[in-house]
Amino acid sequence: MAIIRVPRPPRDTNVFAAAWGYTTTICTGLTLTLTIFFRQLLKREKSETVEWPEQPATYGERFKGKHFLTKREDGQVRCTACFLCATACPAQCIHIEAGQHPSNEIEKFPVRFEIDILRCVFCGYCEEACPVDAIRLGPEYAIVDTSEKKWVYTKDYLADRPALQGGIHSIKPENEKHTSIGHEPTAGERKSQAHHGHS
């Protein structure tokens, strides 16, 4: 076996010259931090820190927090109980029990839809797996409660909790399976795209 000799780089003997780069950077950063600290201390600038929970704090709409179920125009959940979210869920925290809907148009709907939020890892796979835009992760992040039972979110809670302000409607057409490909949402459908409320 041949041994290849690799020449070593020449050793820098000047310690101060080597440390100079680090020192300046640290000082620059520290100066910025201190500047903002004093500015906010002297109320020259609004502070980003809020005294939560006394003061409300919100995230953007695209934050993946507490789940909710979207609704149809008539107020029923859009979910067709296809189990794709339950299949995709890596934490196996979604439990669905399907039933026959009185309307043959809808056919299948969830009699029970439960999310064990303690097991949930908020990966958002359920949202991505959903073929009918029925489940989403909303911007609510404060998940606090008092008993184990309340950690299992029921269908009613997921669709109708007060924070949702009467339920969220989806932009997707309801009878999607019978429309052609590339269907553009109509004006009415666009309007029904609501912003989900949160405090």
- Residue numbers of the site for another protein (CB under 8 A)? 80-84, 87, 98-100, 104-105, 107-108, 131-132, 177-178, 180-182
Nearest distance from C-beta of residue 33 to another protein, angstroms: 51
Dump the DSSP string for 103-114: STTT-EEEEEEE
Cβ closest to another protein, residue 49 vs residue 104: 104
Cβ closest to another protein, residue 77 vs residue 84: 84
CB atoms within 10 A of CB 152: 15
Nearest distance from C-beta of residue 115 to another protein, angstroms: 18
Cβ closest to another protein, residue 130 vs residue 159: 130
Q: How far is residue 172's CA from residue 179's CA, in Å, rounded to a whole number?
A: 11
Q: How far is residue 150's CA from residue 142's CA, in Å, rounded to a whole number?
A: 14
Q: Pick from 118, 13, 10, 130: which is nearest to 82 by CA?
A: 130
CB atoms within 10 A of CB 130: 21
Nearest distance from C-beta of residue 74 to another protein, angstroms: 18
Cβ closest to another protein, residue 44 vs residue 183: 183
